[in-house]
A and B are shown apart, each in its own frame.
Chain A
Amino acid sequence: MSQTNAISQASVAYFSGDDLARNRDEIAAGKLWRFPGGIHPPERKELANQRPIARMPIPKRLYVPLKQHIGQPGALLVQVGEQVLKGQPLTAPGPNAGLPVHAPTSGVIAAINDHPSAHPSALPVPTIILDTDGEDSWTERQPIADYREHSAAELIAHIAAAGVAGLGGAGFPTAQKLSAQGKLDYLIINGAECEPYIVSDDRLMREHAAGIVRGIRIMQHISGIEQVIIAIEDNKPEAIQAMTDACSGQAGLSVRVIPTKYPSGGERQLIQILTGREVPGNGLPQDIGVLMQNTGTAYAVYRAVIFGEPLLERVITLTGEALSRPGTVWAPLGCGVEDLLEFAGYQGYPKARVIMGGPMMGFTLPRLDVPVIKGSNCILAPARKELPTAGTEMACIRCGACADVCPASLLPQQLYWLARDHDHDGLRDYNLADCIECGACAYVCPSEIPLVHYYRQAKADMREQYIEKQKAEIAKERFEARKARLEREKQEREARHARAAEARKQAQAEREAAAAAAPATDTTDATPAAKKPNDRIAAAVARAKAKKAAQAAESSPEPQPEQAPMSKDDRVKAAVARAKAKKAAQAAESSPEPQPEQAPMSKDDRVKAAIARAKAKKAAQAKALQASENSEGKVSNKPESLPDSSNSAQAADPAPEATPGEPSPSRNKQGSDQ
C-alpha cells in the first residue's frame, strides 16, 4: 500500500504489510474496537459541568513542589525572600529531561522547605512556599507567533522550558513524549475523561476548542504525524459538538465518539478502542505507531507556544455533594486544596473524605494543605452518604466478577491470593505489572475486597525488594573487592618490608658515601624512580635528592611538628617531597595536632581533589593498586622509616597524590561546592 512506508512498518512490527494496510483502512473508516471488561459506575458529571470554568481569587500562599512530573527536579534558582514575577522559573530544568517549575503568580518566596505532597502518602517533599502579592504581574514572555518557522527541536525546547507535562494524571514531560523517534501513525487526543465526576476536559473542550485544535496543530508540526484522532466519550455531547465544530474543514483531524465505559480513557485502553492495536507489555505507545496526549496538554502547548506562557494553572474539577458551589476552576499550580474547597463552599464533617482525583483512581488526602500540581485534575468532596465506603472485607468467593471486568485481562482474584501470600514469582507470572490500577475489579467485587490496595502494596514490595537486591549485589561486590584489596595489600606490605630492610642497609652505605662526595647532584625528575620502585639505583637517586632538599628545608624556620614516632629527618623529607608535589601543603604540615581546623585549601582545589579522588576510586585495578598504596601509607600511620620511595611514587602521579592530603568533602558538600 502506498502509505505503508518502511519506518512505520518497523514501528508496528507485528503487523504484516497487508494487515497494517487493512488496519489503517479500518481506522480511517471510523471503526471502533472494544477492550475487554470495563464497568459503568454512576457518572455524576452533571454535578460540576453545568457552569463555565471559574477564576478564583489568587490565594495568599502557594506551595510549589520542585517536582511535579515524572523525572527529576531541577536545581533551585531562587532564594528565600526573593521577589518573583509570574511565569518566572523557580528551578532549572532537571537532568534527564526534567522540567522546571515556574512562579504561578508574582510574590515573595516565603520559605523553601519540606511540605506535604500531593501524593497518597502526603509525605513531605521539597517545596517553594510563595507569598503572593496580588499584583499578578508577569515576567517577560516569549511567544512564538508563527511556530511553523521554527524547527521541531526549537519548539520542543520551548515547551520543555515552559514546564508542560501531561495533564491527564501521570505528568509525563510533554516535550520528551513529543521528541519520540521514528514516524508515527496517529496522534490521539484523549478527551475521553471516563472517570466519574471529573469534568475538567469536558469544560475545557466546550470553552476552548479552538485553542485545543491549535495546540494539536503545533504538536503535529513537531511530531510530523498526519492523522489526529480526538476521542470523546458519548456522554459529553456539548464537548463533542464544540470539538467537531472546531475541527470542521481541517484536514487530518477527526473526532471519534466512543461508548461510555470505564476505563476507556486509560492510555492503553483508548489506543485499543481506536486502533485495535495493543501496546506491548513492556513497551510504549510509540512502539505501535501511536502518540497520545491529553486535551488539557494540547491546550497548555498552545498557551506555551503562542503566548509564551509557562504552565502555571490548570482546570480543576471541584465536585461532590459536600460542596455548595461545585464546578470547574482555573487553579494556579501550588494552590492549597483548602483554598479550593473554600472557594467551592465546602461543608466539612468529621471523618470526611477529601479525594484528589476521581472516585475510581483518586486518593484520599490526610490533610488539606497539600497543593494541586500539574497532574491533579479533580478535588472530590463527597457528602457523608454519597460514596459509601467499602464494607467489611469478606472472603473471596471466586466468583470471577473481577476477571470479567478487568480491562487488562488479568485474573484479579489470582493476583489477590498471590499478593496475600507475598508470592512475588507468582505475581510476575500473572503479570501484576500490567495492572493499571483502574479499580474496576475492586468496584465489582461482591466480597468488598480492596483488591487494588493489595496490588499496590505488592508492587511496592516487589520494587523495594528489587532495589534491595541491587544494593545487596553492589555491597557484595564491594565487600569482595575489599577482601581482595586487603589480601593484596598484605602481600605488598610484606614485599615492601623486605625491600625496605634491604634498602636501609644500602642507604646506610650510600649516605656515608654521599656525605663524603660533593652533594651537588642534579635534580633529575623522580619519575623513573617511581616507575621502577624496584630499581635500587633509582631509589638511591631519589633519596639523595630528597636529602638535599631536606637540608635546604631544615634551614627554613618551620615549627617542629610533634609527630612522635617519625624521625625528624624522615619527617622533613616527607614534607619536602610533598611540597614539591603540590604547592599548598606547608600549612597542613604546620598543624599536626588533631584539630578540627582544616587545611586552608582553596575551594577550587578541594573540588579538584574531590574529583580526582572520585576518579581514582573508580579507576581500574591497576590504578586502584597505586591509590591503595598511597592510602596505605597514610592509613597505617606507622613510622615508615623510609618514606622516600612512596613519596616519589606520589610525585609521579598527581591524581592519586592529591587524594590523601586533601580533606574529602562529603557528597552533599561537594554538590553545593560545585
Chain B
Amino acid sequence: MSFISGLLIGIAALAILALLSGVLLGFAAVRFRVEKDPVVEQIDSLLPQTQCGQCGYPGCRPYAEAIANGDDINKCPPGGQATIDQLADLMGREAKPLDGAHGVEEVKKVAYIREDECIGCTKCIQACPVDAILGATKQMHTVIADECTGCDLCVEPCPVDCIDMIALQQGPERWKWDLEQIPVTNVSESPTELATEVKS
C-alpha cells in the first residue's frame, strides 16, 4: 500500500513538474519569440547571387526555395565551401564538401568581350542574367565589369567565341594576408629572380 501510494505521489509530482515546465517553456516561446525572415529569404541572402544555374535551378532564389524544401546544400560552386558552411549553420545541417557534379569552386572571374571580334549579335545580352552587357544589334558589345557576376552564361552563346572569362586582378587592397602566395613577379628587367621562402 505505502509502496503504491509512494509511487503515485512520485508520478503526480513528476506530472506537475512536467506541466509547469511545459507552461513555462510555452510562455517563453511566445514572450521571447525572435522575429525572423522567412527561411527562403535567409538562404537566398547567403547564396552568391551569381545566377549561373550551375546548381541545376534557374537562379539563386529557386535553389534557395529548393534548399528550404530539403535539397542538398552543396550544389553551388560559385559560393563554394564558405557558402556551404554558412548554409549548414543556418539550416542546422551537416556541412558537406561541394558536390563535384555541379562544378568546382574557382577564382572569381569576369567576362571580357574582345571588342574587335564582336559582331553585335546580342546573343550574350540575352544570356546575361544581370544585364551586365551593353550593346546593340551590329554594334560592339561590352561587359560592365563591376556588374558582371562571372556566371559564364554569356560565353557559350557567342557565335564567334569572343568572350573570355578572365580572373579578377587582385590588388594589394584586397589581399588576404596569404603569405604563402606572395607572387614572384617578373617586372621590367629586374634581373634578380627572387624566390620566396615562406613561413607562416
| Chain A interfacial positions (CB closer than 8 Å to B) | 111, 113-117, 119-125, 129, 351, 366-369, 389, 422, 450, 453, 456-457, 460-461, 463-465, 467-468, 471-476, 478-479, 481-482, 485, 592, 594, 596, 598-599, 613, 617, 631, 634-635, 637, 659-667, 669
Q: Nearest chain-A residue to B170 (Cβ)?
A: A123
Q: Does B136 contact A635, Cβ atoms closer than 8 Å?
A: yes
Are B175's CB and A120's CB within 8 A? yes
Residue of B nearest to A599 (CB): B139
When C-beta atoms are compared, the residue in chain B nearest to A617 turns out to be: B134
Identify which of B4-12, B26-34, B112-120 touches chain A: B112-120
Residues B69-126 near A (CB distance < 8 A) = 82, 85, 113, 115-117, 119-120, 122, 125-126
* Least distance between B117 CB and chain A CB atoms (Å): 7
Residue of B with least CB distance to A475: B49
Instruction: State whether A366 touches B182 (Cβ < 8 A).
Output: yes
Q: Give which listed residue, A121, A485, A637, A663, contacts B175 with CB less than 8 A.
A: A121
What's the Cα separation between A383 and B120 when bound, in Å?
Answer: 63
Cβ contact within 8 Å between A120 and B177: yes
A-B contact pairs, 6 of them (CB 8 A): A115-B187, A453-B179, A457-B178, A479-B60, A481-B131, A666-B143
Name the A residues within 8 Å of B200 (CB-CB): 450, 453
Q: CB within 8 Å of A: which residues of B?
A: 44-45, 47-51, 59-60, 82, 85, 113, 115-117, 119-120, 122, 125-126, 129-132, 134-145, 147, 149, 170-172, 174-179, 182-185, 187-188, 190, 192, 194, 196-197, 199-200
Q: How far is the CB of B161 from chain A (nearest CB, A)?
A: 15
Query: For residue A599, which residues in chain B have a CB less than 8 angstroms away from its CB?
Result: 139
Task: Compute how far the CA of A113 lies from the CA of B190 in the bound complex, rounded to whole angstroms.
Answer: 13
Which residues of chain B are within 8 angstroms of A479 by Cβ–Cβ distance? 49, 51, 59-60, 129-130
Q: How distant is A279 from chain B, measured CB to nearest CB, in Å?
A: 24
A576 to B176 Cα, complex, angstroms: 57
- Out of B49, B138, B172, name the residue touching A473 (CB < 8 Å): B49
**A113, A120, A476, A598: which has the most chain B beta carbons within 10 Å?**
A476
* A635 x B134 contact (CB < 8 A): no
Partner of A460, one of B126, B140, B176: B176
Chain A residues with Cβ below 8 Å from B196 are: 366
Give the residues in chain A near B183, CB-CB below 8 Å.
Answer: 122-123
Q: Give chain A residues whose Cβ lies under 8 Å from the Cβ of B144.
A: 667
A485's closest neighbor in chain B, by CB?
A: B131
Contact pick for B174, options A467, A482, A617, A661, CB 8 Å: A467
CB-defined contacts of B176 to chain A, threshold 8 Å:
457, 460-461, 464
B140 and A113 contacting across the interface, CB-CB below 8 Å = no
Contact B172 A123 (CB under 8 A): yes
Closest 7 pairs between A and B when the two form their complex, measured CB to CB: A472-B49, A666-B142, A478-B130, A475-B49, A460-B176, A634-B137, A121-B175
Say yes or no: B142 contacts A664, CB within 8 Å.
yes
Q: Are B175 and A123 in contact (CB under 8 A)?
A: yes
For residue B188, which residues in chain A have a CB less than 8 angstroms away from its CB? 111, 113, 115, 129
Q: A115-B188, A463-B174, A467-B174 are in contact. Are A478 and B132 (CB under 8 A)?
A: yes
**Would you give the shortest CB distance from A251 to chain B, in whole angstroms?**
44
Bound Cα distance A422, B82 (Å)? 10
Q: A472-B47, A475-B49, A635-B136 are in contact. Are A482 and B129 (CB under 8 A)?
A: yes
Find out whether the CB atom of A475 lies under 8 angstroms from the CB atom of B147.
Answer: yes
Partner of B187, one of A116, A471, A667: A116
Report the minimum CB–CB distance from A230 to chain B (whole Å). Answer: 33
Say whether B187 contacts A635, CB under 8 Å: no
Q: A125, B171: Cβ atoms under 8 Å?
A: yes
* Distance in angstroms between the alpha carbons of A120 and B175 in the assembled complex: 9
Set B49, B149, B194: member contacting A366, Cβ < 8 A = B194
Given the known A-B contacts A114-B187, A472-B47, are A637 and B122 also in contact in the complex, defined by CB atoms under 8 Å? yes
**Known: A478-B147, A637-B122, A664-B136. Contact between A122 and B59, CB under 8 A?**
no
In the bound assembly, the distance between CA atoms of A468 and B174 in angstroms comes to: 12
Q: Please, which residue of chain A has its CB at the minimum distance from the CB of B182?
A: A366
Whether A594 pairs with B137 at a CB distance below 8 angstroms is no
**Of A461, A475, A664, which is in contact with the most chain B CB atoms at under 10 Å from its CB?**
A475
Residues of B within 8 A of A366 (CB): 182, 184, 194, 196
List A contacts of B45 (CB < 8 A): 472
B145 & A667 in contact (Cβ 8 Å cutoff): yes
Cα separation A481 to B136 with both chains bound (whole Å): 19
What is the CA–CA distance of A580 and B49 in the complex, to the nearest angstrom?
43
- In the bound complex, do residue A367 and residue B59 qualify as a contact, i.e. CB atoms below 8 Å apart? no
A173 to B50, CA, bound (A): 37
Is B136 touching A637 in the complex (CB atoms < 8 A)?
no
Question: Judging by beta carbons under 8 Å apart, are A635 and B126 in contact?
Answer: yes
Q: Given that A635-B122, A635-B136 are known contacts, is A351 also in contact with B197, CB under 8 Å in the complex?
A: yes
Q: Which residue of A lies closest to B147 (CB)?
A: A478
Query: Given B47, B113, B137, B172, which contacts A637 in the complex, CB threshold below 8 Å?
Result: B137
Contact across chains for B49 and A476 when beta carbons are under 8 A apart: yes
User: With A123-B170, A478-B132, A634-B122 given, is the CB distance from A460 to B139 under 8 Å?
Assistant: no
Give the nearest-CB partner of A453 in chain B: B177
Not counting A596-B119, A664-B142, a sample of 11 additional A-B residue pairs whose C-beta atoms are within 8 angstroms of each other reads A120-B177, A121-B175, A122-B185, A367-B194, A368-B192, A468-B48, A478-B130, A635-B126, A637-B137, A666-B113, A669-B115
Q: Known: A635-B137, A664-B135. Is A121-B182 also a contact (CB below 8 A)? A: yes
Distance A471 CA – B48 CA, assembled complex (angstroms): 8
Q: Which residues of B contact A368 (CB under 8 A)?
A: 192, 194
Chain A proximity of B193: nearest CB distance (Å):
9
Given known contacts A117-B172, A475-B50, A635-B136, A460 and B194 CB-to-CB distance under 8 angstroms? no
CA distance A596 to B115 in the complex (A): 9
Contacts of A111 in B (CB 8 A): 188
Provide the residues of chain A in CB contact with B135, threshold 8 Å. Answer: 664
- CB B109 to nearest CB in A, in angstroms, measures 13
Q: How far is the CB of B38 from chain A (nearest CB, A)?
A: 16
The docked-state distance in angstroms from the alpha carbon of A122 to that of B181 is: 11
Distance of A461 Cα from B177 Cα, bound (Å) = 9
Please state if A475 and B149 are interface contacts (CB–CB under 8 Å).
yes
Q: Which of A124, A467, A596 contacts B185 (CB 8 A)?
A: A124
- Beyond A366-B182, A467-B174, A594-B119, whether A631 also contacts B136 by CB under 8 A is yes
Nearest neighbor of B190 in chain A, beta-carbon distance: A369
A111 to B189, CA, bound (A): 11
State how many angstroms separate the Cβ of B106 from the closest Cβ of chain A: 14
Known contacts A125-B172, A475-B149; A596 and B116 CB within 8 A of each other: yes
